[in-house]
Structure 1
Amino acid sequence: MEQRVIRALLKPAAYPETTGSVELVQTHISYIFLTDTHAYKVKKPVDFGFLNFTTLDRRRFYCDEEIRLNRRLAPDMYLDVVEIRETNDGAAFFGSGRVIDYAVKMKRLPAGRMLDQLLDQGGVSAQDVRNIAGTVARFHQHAERSAEINAGGTLAAIRFNWEENFQQTEEFQDITLRRQDFRCIRDWVIGFTELHAPLFEQRIADGFIRDGDGDLHTENICLGETGEIWIFDCIEFNPRFRYGDTAADIAFLLMDFDYHGRPKLGTVFLDTYIAATGDTSITQLLDFYKIYRSFIRGKVESLRFKDGQLDEEARQRAQLNAMHHFRLCRGYIARRQLPLSLILTCGLTGTGKSSVARRLAFELGLEIISSDVLRKKLVGIAPSTPCPAGYNEGIYGREITGRTYDELLLTAEEALTAGQSVIVDATMWQRAVRHRFSDLAYRHGTALRILHIQCPEELVRKRLEARIADPDEPSDGRWEIYLRQREDFEPPTADEGDIIAIDTSATADENIDAVLTAMGIASCGRD
């Protein structure tokens, strides 16, 4: 679309309804013009191989398809296909001038009620997720089936889609996707499909290949204030991305719950979905399709990063999102090799224990039990409330510290008893304290991994100074506390468990690779 047309469509006078302002949002395939009450989605004239919007007729056809398909789950949102007409000022959505393009006209939904934003704000309840799961389950049960659609569930189609993804991401190696991760993911996918071919065949035979949504993730779901659910923006441009296993459809949303750090909500969704559909075999392929969905998301964000029409801030955000999705994809493979484990951080304040714990939890899907958060919970204050007490004073005194470690131990035991690996994020500066966790691991017959976190002192000091300015930081560590801890710290030794030394002056990727290698789960062979 020419810049003069874009400028014209950013004027309120270009719209049939009264609006005080117009906002432009871009994806790698669309321009979306937002008025006060409506959204107008215009397809970019691009050809990525898997979609082709390069002609006016194609864009009109796919606008019609977008209306038809999205009315399945959001009938009152998708209003019509409208013409963009040439005017003396450039363009408008009315008039008698030449038709220069088409747009999908939609009711504008409240931006603050989008599921991804609500997740990040802690505004999504388990009941919200159950309602979404019920809606998706009903949609899948009534979604179209046919011999043509069944072809989308064959190994040939699945391998074709994967190979296309690999080809389209090759150029992003060492930009958004590390070369070694690219090879790892590709090798694993080939091995999994060869080893588990009967699973895919059985899913076809059992009738679970449907004309689904194809793009079911948290940015495409909106929750109304009074219980409405809009699921929108399905794949309209290529039916082979909709024709597939219902497992592939819900895996996108489950992956997104993981990406936003809310895996327990994913469990609520899955349990509700299975209860509604009776599809118990779906769990056998969910990891495979989560890997597929996180890889696609990484590819899409990489394409956004490549889009020269986006501003630099948007491009850098897209690059970071792509990198995180590819690492999550790699993490899904690693976690399938993870034995039941009790993982402890051990190190002085400011060395980066929590950063390593959060990144490891993200990739391996583990729960973190944080001493900083638990300590403040025990005394009834919010995690981000500053409590800058002196060394071994206030809430950091002997009595509350003892209660904190008792609770850490109890919570870790609950996780291990449930068969779940867990990360305990704490200083663990005393050998006697670590021995209590070592005994716990021994009782459960599980491995104890102690991450001994260190870094140069000048970096510790910079981090602690920056931490004071972070209003969301639960730790009250300061430089003077670090110096006192250093005097009393008892470094872990080999007789306590598997000691994994981490220097956090290295990159986050290097740190996690070191942990995975030490844990023996860094390889990417057959599943």
Structure 2
Amino acid sequence: MITEDQTPVIEFLTRPSTHGGATVERIDTHASIVFLAGARAYKLKRAVRFDYLDFSTPERRHALCQAEVRLNRRTAPTLYRGVVAVTRQQDGRYELGGAGTPVDWLVEMHRFPQEALFDRLAAAGTLGVTLMSPLGAAIADFHKSAEHRPDHGGKAGMSWVVDGNAAGFAEFGAACLERSAAHRVTAHASSELDRLGPLLDQRRESGFVRQCHGDLHLRNIVLLDATPTLFDGVEFNEEISCTDVLYDLAFLLMDLWRRRLPRHANIVWNRYLAEAADIDGVALMPLFLSCRAAVRAKTSATAAQLQDDAQRRGELEALAREYLAMADLVLHPPTPCLVAVGGFSGSGKSTLALGLAPSIGAVPGAIVLRSDETRKRLCGVPLLQHLGPEGYSASVSERVYATVTEHAAQILRAGHSVIVDAVSFRPADRDAIEHVAAAASVPFMGFWLEAPEPMLMHRTAQRHGDASDADGSVVRTQRAHDTGDLRWCRIDASVPAASVLSVVMNRVRERRHDALNLD
């Protein structure tokens, strides 16, 4: 509900004269108005009160403007300039930051091109997949440094989400959402919540509930100085922002998947997990994705009811149904499988693994366990830092393969598919990987990539900014070893990567088809 008439302030901010004659562009949402003028952006919080948001008084708007700047400077320090008052002089004139009486408050930001927003880039088909890995790393870094909030989250925090979705479906979804579908999503989410409640509470006690972003979708990410930058996080409701870190990430993954960008979503997912090493929470992702989609179904249905324009109302109702269908779908993931990609350094294992991952298993695709990344974590160095010979001793390599197989088993138990990306030239390492699949009773597919030595050496020499430290001497050492009996499917990796991916995808589909028929 509207609690105050802000018309004079809005008219003042709309005038070019307020901004030195610059043309003013206005962006309206249900909770704020943003005025773009020259090199600045000013965000006015609307005088409104909802069940989840209270901007009802100037004092609250001032406090929440300050909170918005403080919280968002964590991820976008150069974007947020500060808080500025709209003041009224004795003669009744308004000024920005004047000496008169403050009547309202604004968040002042540096302006950026709207075309740099990730949702605009996605809509235009120009959201580069190369941006996804640094984006996943940036989110992981942000979560690592975010404040622990054990007073929120856990099973109770997710119950608040599920119950809120159910209430929204009943109040606003009746006109556009199939009642049985809404009930099915709520019932299944509640069942999953009961099953996973202990894990949710355990993660809260272990520090995985933090002061997160809270609204992490593509419209709140912008490309600044060629860097993916998170902004406009939630400051107005800690029930929304103080949550499990993977629930925070799930909003972005859901948004990418819904926009038919599965490869983008999978790269973010895998880079995040590589940086955060958060394997324990993987089992929660179907529930988290479903709740995020259900929230969007609820808010889209709600927005549709407030529309006077019939066409826009119809678009929002269709969007609500699409989100609800996704919320239902992700709660029924397919049977997981284990794929192993082996071969000497330079054979294209990582390229194949990441190309294959989006099409395998539950949303957002298979988790790639890369031995090179595991080695760096075990040695306590950043993924891109070069390791000396001590990092490649026999004992370290044994720990690497033991950790990879342990994590693969854990992920399969959580219901997600795994791709193991490792050289695996020793028969014992290959046997251990196969044993993981057998113990989990899931389909297994092993591929061995082959290419001539000169090609392997050329590829390793060309590699930069990668977790692998392999060079020509490493290739020669690997090829000198006896690989023993190779039962995995041999793949010619001397051809273009797209051709290798096509061949392997066909074989994976055939194997999964055979496994389903056996069931």
TM over 0.5: yes
Letter in 1 for 2:123: D
Letter in 2 for 1:235: V
Describe the SS at the equivalent of 1:39: strand
Residue 322 of structure 1, CA deviation: 3.0
Residue 274 of structure 1, CA deviation: 1.0
Correspondence for 2:62 = 60
Letter in 1 for 2:283: Q
Q: For the structure 1 residues 240 and 201, does the alpha-carbon distance in structure 2 shift closer, same or farther, using more than 3 Å as the test? A: same
Residue 319 of structure 1, CA deviation: 3.8
Letter in 2 for 1:212: C
Choose the corresponding residue for 2:127, options 105, 108, 124. 124
Residue 24 of structure 1, CA deviation: 1.6
Which whole-Å CA distance do the structure 1 matches of 2:81 and 2:296 have between them?
A: 28
2:173, 2:301 within 8 Å by CA — same for their partners in 1? Answer: no
Correspondence for 1:188 = 188
Aligned pairs, number? 357
Which whole-Å CA distance do the structure 2 matches of 1:165 and 1:443 have between them?
A: 36
Describe the SS at the equivalent of 1:99: strand
Residue 187 of structure 1, CA deviation: 0.3
Residue 121 of structure 1, CA deviation: 2.5
Correspondence for 1:321 = 319
1:220, 1:231 within 8 Å by CA — same for their partners in 2? Answer: yes
Residue 64 of structure 1, CA deviation: 0.8
Q: For the structure 1 residues 74 and 314, does the alpha-carbon distance in structure 2 shift closer, same or farther, using more than 3 Å as the test? A: farther
Task: Give runs of aligned pairs for residues 305-320 of structure 1, distance below 5 A.
Answer: 305-307=304-306, 316-320=314-318
2:216, 2:233 within 8 Å by CA — same for their partners in 1? Answer: yes
Task: Give runs of aligned pairs for residues 47-86 of structure 1, distance below 5 A.
Answer: 47-86=49-88
Residue 212 of structure 1, CA deviation: 1.1
Correspondence for 2:112 = 109
Correspondence for 2:351 = none
Task: Give runs of aligned pairs for residues 235-274 of structure 1, distance below 5 A.
Answer: 235-274=234-273
Task: Give runs of aligned pairs for residues 75-474 of structure 1, distance below 5 A.
Answer: 75-86=77-88, 91-95=94-98, 98-145=101-148, 149-224=149-224, 226-307=225-306, 316-334=314-332, 336=333, 414-415=504-505, 417-418=507-508, 444-446=514-516
Q: For the structure 1 residues 34 and 311, does the alpha-carbon distance in structure 2 shift closer, same or farther, using more than 3 Å as the test? A: farther
TM, length-normalised to structure 1:
0.61
Q: For the structure 1 residues 302 and 24, does the alpha-carbon distance in structure 2 shift closer, same or farther, using more than 3 Å as the test? A: farther
Describe the SS at the equivalent of 1:333: coil
Describe the SS at the equivalent of 2:52: coil
Which whole-Å CA distance do the structure 1 matches of 2:96 and 2:86 have between them?
A: 5
Which whole-Å CA distance do the structure 1 matches of 2:279 and 2:201 have between them?
A: 16
2:6, 2:47 within 8 Å by CA — same for their partners in 1? Answer: no
2:253, 2:364 within 8 Å by CA — same for their partners in 1? Answer: no
Task: Give runs of aligned pairs for residues 480-499 of structure 1, distance below 5 A.
Answer: none
Which whole-Å CA distance do the structure 2 matches of 1:311 and 1:97 have between them?
A: 41
Q: For the structure 1 residues 418 and 269, does the alpha-carbon distance in structure 2 shift closer, same or farther, using more than 3 Å as the test? A: farther
Which whole-Å CA distance do the structure 2 matches of 1:264 and 1:123 have between them?
A: 14
TM, length-normalised to structure 2:
0.62
Which whole-Å CA distance do the structure 2 matches of 1:323 and 1:21 have between them?
A: 39
Which whole-Å CA distance do the structure 2 matches of 1:365 and 1:442 have between them?
A: 17
Which whole-Å CA distance do the structure 2 matches of 1:144 and 1:441 have between them?
A: 45
Residue 223 of structure 1, CA deviation: 1.1
Which whole-Å CA distance do the structure 2 matches of 1:277 and 1:442 have between them?
A: 30
2:153, 2:242 within 8 Å by CA — same for their partners in 1? Answer: yes
Moved more, 95-104 or 282-291: 95-104
1:113, 1:223 within 8 Å by CA — same for their partners in 2? Answer: yes
Which whole-Å CA distance do the structure 2 matches of 1:25 and 1:312 have between them?
A: 21
Describe the SS at the equivalent of 1:213: coil
1:152, 1:158 within 8 Å by CA — same for their partners in 2? Answer: no
Letter in 2 for 1:328: M
Describe the SS at the equivalent of 2:49: coil
Correspondence for 2:11 = 7
Matched-pair identity in %: 27
Letter in 2 for 1:39: A
CA deviations on 1:136-165 (whole Å, 9 max, x unpaired) are 1111111111xxx11323212221232133
Letter in 2 for 1:254: L
Q: Which runs of 5+ in 2 are unaligned?
A: 338-358, 366-499
CA deviations on 1:174-196 (whole Å, 9 max, x unpaired) are 33432122101110111101122
1:28, 1:303 within 8 Å by CA — same for their partners in 2? Answer: no
Describe the SS at the equivalent of 2:325: helix
CA deviations on 1:90-113 (whole Å, 9 max, x unpaired) are 855354554332111111121111
Letter in 2 for 1:253: L
Letter in 2 for 1:156: A
CA deviations on 1:440-482 (whole Å, 9 max, x unpaired) are 699724469xxxxxxxxxxxxxxxxxxxxxxxxxxxxxxxxxx
Which whole-Å CA distance do the structure 2 matches of 1:217 and 1:289 have between them?
A: 14
Q: For the structure 1 residues 447 and 178, does the alpha-carbon distance in structure 2 shift closer, same or farther, using more than 3 Å as the test? A: farther
Describe the SS at the equivalent of 2:53: coil
Q: Which runs of 5+ in 1 are unaligned?
A: 341-360, 368-409, 420-439, 449-527
Residue 327 of structure 1, CA deviation: 2.4
Q: For the structure 1 residues 19 and 192, does the alpha-carbon distance in structure 2 shift closer, same or farther, using more than 3 Å as the test? A: farther
Letter in 1 for 2:508: A
